[in-house]
């Protein structure tokens, strides 16, 4: 591939080519009038962006307001589809840049495994110490299904084919004829995109979301994950030592899809069971295809090589046990193929009959046996990589594919326990007891072997459903293995009793077992979810109380001293603003980590990050490195939200790069901690004091608007498309937990999504400026301190960069357009003025701290991408405001008008990327 000085010239070529194709399609299917109309609006918007002119601005508003159906819908779709094409081109360019790095000798890409191993080598660790670091690594990535992923799967598949065609055009060996064919295919795919209805006509059901999640396992993750580990093995052998490194499968995938019951009545025990069945069906299909491929390759004959006679005898016995006449491999000398025939038969019977595999470990053992005998015929340094890859896959995915977390709200457990305890006369008023009394009652129950449940307790439907969930978990452990469901998450954990209640329910259904000698067995981790600012502050004391409670210590002993803690980024940010929430999260991790060390308990922090900046979003490697360094050895678990799945895992090369960055960041950071444990992180006490002061002022400012201004919610509902989002059919969960209009019950996802659509981006930055500026002005030395913190403290560096990104994507001029939707003009002006002033205050502080001339000027690719997109997002925002006004003024709006509003929402989401 030719070396290019301007790294983005090829990207611009791709964007221009795809734009030209779209333009041609607009003329073919909408006529010259449509093309000219789109071009006119685009040029006017671009001109206003470059140099604002009042006349041009009013002409643009008139141009947009004068649009009538069907032309209006075609214009909206043209801009929306253009963003899909830009997104594809940018992803393809990421792949291209990675390949350029691989081809250029002496260079390695940042956060590549090659670079990480090079850094680890410089830390002067012994091979044994490096191996110990590898065994300590742990990353779990958990797919979730409450997305603002507005893109349909059909559209995603078209996008994937367009991307594949762009990659083919990069091939320098392609003939003119082949390029012509690819260009024709590109045209056809973009045409298909234009002809495809991008809106869902019904809300997805839970099992639709399950299928969407499984799509990524099927298309990319099954093959990509082993490749990351193989690359790490290879780099260790090249750069450190040629020994046979044991790189464990330290990246694992899990899922909430089909298991997350919090606020979603559609996730029933039956749905969860069906999810587990679907997961098993897919992974067995993938294994079968892999075994068939291995069978083709392993044609070795015992007439050409010496194969262990005991192995041959064993294969013959297995044939007689599992296979009938024609099922046996016909060539006696091809022993490995005979063994694969047995494996295939058993695989196909798994979950159906006693001849199937009971445990995935048995399948891995059979494959390892073949590998051991076959590698005996090779030189020691040569390995059967394809066979090793399949063994890795079996070890990683088992027969369950992905561990399914179960989540439910603490209030539902309490209601069920209240009813059960009342039925057996333990206490008539459990819910009204003080917290200490609740703990005392629950500990007594957990220390008593006798069951509480009555055969016919006359329980309410809600309690019966809760008991069914736990019975289903027990049944799932028996059917799919205990890795199928390992963690039960308690959302809105506010006290120790919230976790003890779950243990009681687990005890009553046989998941938690107490024996006469006092010994406990437990098949389930119980994890608190600390979400609000108050919960984060209370979290360390909650955990200390549990660690000191005898029955809970027995639970921890039964779970090998392991405790998982989930930290919610969305609700904390919604309650206290992003800067204060992130600081409280950081402090909570440190305090809980230190408390756990006192009691010799192994922690794992589960970071409930969203795709958007307002919900803790960002790249995986940034997320990992922004945590307190001393907690990384505990293991990292992070949610992969629905809205980022396609951008991270749709294309194999992008999926690989995403996982490589995460693996490289964690490996290098943990090795660094291991090499100098006394210098874990250059974090000074005065820096922490600075963050405390900044956070306090920021929280005060945030809450004075969100909770202190009685008109704020009116502004939010009217100056954003929140109301219209409900019709978009983008998730199986309701927008509010209790179908209410209260701020507390509104989910963080629509909260962020609505602000993003209107370009306020308020949850991602608001109030940070007040906190930062107040600290800077308090002492002339403070600015220098913050600049040093930005350079030397990864948490603060990440925080400031995320704030810069948020301000770059926000746009106060566009946000101002939405004021026309607010009925009370004085109210609108007052609140918007406060927001706009805070924007400027935040921008000024960030530029001074980062020493940037412009926001993110040190990240030119990101900055340029946002600037290039803005002139194309603006028309969609202008159209959205105009259409929402008409929609709200029309008593019985036509379906066409609703559709057009939803199309603008889709388009803005595609233009801004990671919006919810």
Q: Tell me, what DSSP letter sits at residue 736?
A: B
CB atoms within 10 A of CB 318: 18
Two tokens, residue 425: 């006369």
Instruction: List, in order, residues 6 or more apart from 680 with CB less than 8 Å away.
Output: 629, 630, 673
**407 and 515 Cβ atoms separated by less than 8 Å:** no
What SS3 class is residue 867? helix
| Backbone angles phi and psi of 736, in degrees to 5 | -115, 150
Q: Which of 345, 413, 477, 574 is catalytic?
A: 574
- First-to-last alpha carbon distance for the chain, in angstroms, is 38
Q: Is 574 a catalytic residue?
A: yes
Q: Which own/partner pairs from 221-225 qualify as long-range (CB within 8 Å, at least 24 positions apart)?
A: 221/253, 221/649, 221/655, 222/286, 222/393, 222/397, 223/652, 224/652, 224/655, 224/656, 224/659, 225/249, 225/251, 225/253, 225/392, 225/393, 225/396, 225/659
Angle subtended by helix axes 435-446 and 550-558, to nearest 10? 50
Alpha-carbon distance values, 706 to 205, 478, 763 (Å): 33, 49, 10
DSSP state of 548: T
Q: Which three-class secondary structure state does DSSP give residue 527? A: strand
Tokens of 351: 């979950």
**By three-state DSSP, how is residue 574 classified?**
helix
DSSP at 509: T
Please, how many CA atoms are within 13 Å of residue 6, restricted to the half-sphere of its CB? 6
Give the closest residue to 267 by CA, choosing from 249, 255, 253, 285: 255
Pairing between β-strand 251-255 and β-strand 636-640 as defined by DSSP bridges: unpaired
Indicate if 672 belongs to the active site.
no
Element (H, E) at 566: strand 562-568
Burial class (CB in 10 A: 0-12, 13-18, 19+), 479: middle
Residue holding tokens 């694969």?
340
The answer to whether the CB of 900 falls within 8 A of the CB of 73 is: yes
Q: Are 662 and 621 in contact (CB under 8 A)?
A: yes
Angle at 846 between CA 842 and CA 850, to 5 degrees: 180
The span from the CA of 714 to the CA of 711, in Å, is 5
Closest CA to 430 of 489, 492, 498, 491: 498
Alpha-carbon gap, residue 187 to 480, rounded angstroms: 46
Determine the Cα–Cα distance for residues 323 and 327; give it in Å rounded to an integer: 6
CA distance to 18, 31, 63, 74, 422, per residue, from 35 (Å):
15, 7, 14, 10, 71
Q: Could you give the CA distance from residue 513 to residue 502 in angstroms, rounded to a whole number?
A: 13
Which residue among the candidates 146, 438, 604, 607 is catalytic per the annotation? 146
Structure token pair of residue 558: 């039964």
> Do 276 and 283 touch, CB atoms closer than 8 A?
no
**From residue 325, how far is each of 319, 320, 329, 347, 404 by CA, in Å?**
9, 9, 9, 18, 40
Closest CA to 367 of 345, 334, 389, 352: 389
Point out the residues that are catalytic: 146, 574
């Amino acid at each position: 591939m030719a070396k290019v000085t301007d790294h983005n010239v090829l990207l611009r070529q791709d964007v221009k080519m795809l734009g030209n194709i779209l333009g041609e399609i607009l003329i073919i299917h909408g006529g010259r009038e449509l093309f000219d109309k789109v071009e006119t609006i685009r040029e006017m918007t671009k001109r206003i962006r470059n140099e604002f002119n009042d006349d041009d601005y009013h002409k643009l508003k008139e141009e947009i307001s004068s649009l009538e159906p069907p032309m209006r819908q075609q214009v909206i779709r043209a801009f929306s589809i253009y963003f899909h094409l830009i997104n594809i081109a940018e992803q393809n360019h990421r792949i291209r840049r990675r390949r350029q790095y691989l081809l250029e000798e002496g260079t390695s890409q940042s956060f590549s495994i090659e670079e990480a191993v090079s850094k680890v080598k410089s830390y002067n660790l012994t091979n044994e110490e490096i191996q110990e670091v590898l065994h300590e690594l742990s990353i779990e990535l958990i797919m979730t299904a409450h997305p603002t992923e507005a893109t349909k799967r059909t559209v995603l598949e078209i996008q994937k084919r367009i991307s594949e065609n762009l990659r083919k055009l990069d091939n320098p060996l392609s003939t003119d004829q082949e390029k012509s064919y690819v260009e024709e295919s590109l045209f056809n795919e973009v045409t298909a995109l234009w002809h495809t209805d991008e809106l869902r006509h019904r809300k997805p059901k839970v099992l639709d979301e399950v299928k969407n999640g499984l799509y990524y396992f099927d298309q990319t993750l099954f093959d990509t994950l082993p490749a990351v580990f193989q690359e790490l093995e290879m780099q260790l052998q090249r750069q450190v030592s040629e020994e046979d490194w044991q790189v464990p499968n330290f990246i694992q995938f899990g899922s909430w899809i089909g298991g997350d019951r919090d606020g979603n009545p559609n996730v029933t025990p039956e749905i969860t069971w069906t999810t587990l069945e679907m997961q098993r069906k897919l992974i067995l299909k993938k294994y079968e295809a892999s075994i068939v491929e291995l069978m083709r390759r392993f044609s070795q004959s015992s007439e050409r090589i010496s194969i262990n006679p005991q192995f041959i005898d064993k294969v013959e016995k297995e044939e007689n046990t599992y296979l009938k006449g024609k099922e046996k491999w016909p060539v006696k000398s091809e022993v490995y193929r005979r063994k694969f025939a047995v494996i295939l038969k058993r695989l196909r019977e798994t979950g159906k009959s006693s001849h199937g595999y009971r445990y995935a470990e048995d399948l891995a053992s059979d494959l390892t046996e073949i590998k051991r005998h076959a590698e005996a015929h090779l030189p020691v340094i040569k390995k059967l990589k394809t066979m090793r890859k399949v063994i890795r896959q079996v070890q990683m995915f088992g027969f369950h594919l992905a561990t399914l977390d179960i989540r439910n709200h603490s209030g539902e457990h309490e209601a069920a326990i209240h009813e059960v305890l009342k039925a057996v006369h333990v206490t008539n008023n459990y819910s009204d007891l003080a917290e200490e009394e609740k703990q005392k009652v629950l500990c007594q129950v957990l220390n008593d072997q006798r069951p509480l449940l009555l055969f016919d307790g006359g329980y309410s439907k809600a309690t019966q459903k809760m008991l069914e969930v736990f019975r289903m978990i027990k049944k799932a452990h028996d059917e799919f293995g205990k890795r199928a469901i390992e963690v039960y998450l308690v959302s809105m954990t506010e006290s120790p009793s919230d976790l003890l209640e779950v243990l009681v329910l687990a005890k009553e259904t046989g998941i938690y077992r107490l024996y006469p000698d006092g010994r406990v067995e437990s098949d389930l981790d119980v994890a608190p979810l600390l979400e609000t600012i108050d919960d984060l502050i209370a979290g360390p004391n909650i955990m200390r109380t549990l660690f000191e409670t005898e029955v809970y210590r027995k639970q921890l002993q039964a779970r090998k001293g392991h405790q998982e803690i989930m930290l919610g980024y969305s609700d904390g940010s919604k309650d206290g603003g992003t800067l204060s929430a992130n600081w409280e999260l950081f402090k909570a991790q440190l305090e809980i980590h230190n408390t756990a060390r006192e009691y010799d308990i192994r922690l794992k922090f589960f970071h409930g990050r969203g795709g958007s900046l307002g919900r803790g979003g960002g790249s995986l490697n940034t997320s990992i490195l922004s945590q307190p360094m001393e907690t990384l050895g505990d293991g990292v678990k992070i949610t992969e939200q629905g809205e980022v799945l396609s951008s991270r895992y749709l294309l194999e090369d992008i999926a690989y790069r995403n996982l490589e960055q995460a693996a490289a960041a964690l490996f290098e950071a943990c090795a660094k901690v291991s090499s100098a444990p006394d210098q874990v992180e250059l974090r000074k006490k005065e820096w922490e004091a600075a963050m405390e002061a900044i956070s306090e002022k920021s929280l005060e400012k945030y809450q004075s608007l969100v909770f202190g201004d009685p008109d704020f919610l009116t502004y939010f509902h009217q100056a954003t498309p929140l109301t219209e989002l409900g019709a978009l059919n983008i998730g199986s969960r309701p927008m509010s937990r209790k179908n209410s209009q209260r701020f507390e019950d509104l989910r963080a996802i629509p909260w962020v999504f609505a602000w993003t659509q209107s370009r306020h981006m308020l949850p991602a930055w608001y109030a940070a400026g007040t906190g930062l500026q107040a600290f800077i002005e308090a002492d002339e030395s403070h600015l220098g301190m913050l600049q040093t913190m930005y350079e030397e403290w990864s948490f603060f560096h990440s925080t400031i960069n995320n704030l810069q990104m948020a301000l770059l994507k926000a746009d106060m001029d566009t946000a101002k357009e939405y004021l026309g939707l607010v009925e009370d003009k004085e109210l609108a002006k007052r609140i918007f003025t406060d927001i706009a002033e805070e924007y400027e205050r935040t921008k000024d502080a960030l530029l001074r701290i980062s020493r940037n001339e412009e926001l993110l000027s040190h990240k030119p690719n990101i900055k340029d991408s946002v600037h290039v997109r803005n002139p194309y997002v603006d028309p969609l925002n202008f159209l959205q405001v105009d259409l929402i006004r008409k929609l709200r003024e029309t008593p019985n709006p036509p379906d066409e008008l609703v559709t057009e509003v939803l199309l603008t929402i889709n388009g803005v989401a595609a233009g801004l990327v990671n919006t919810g």
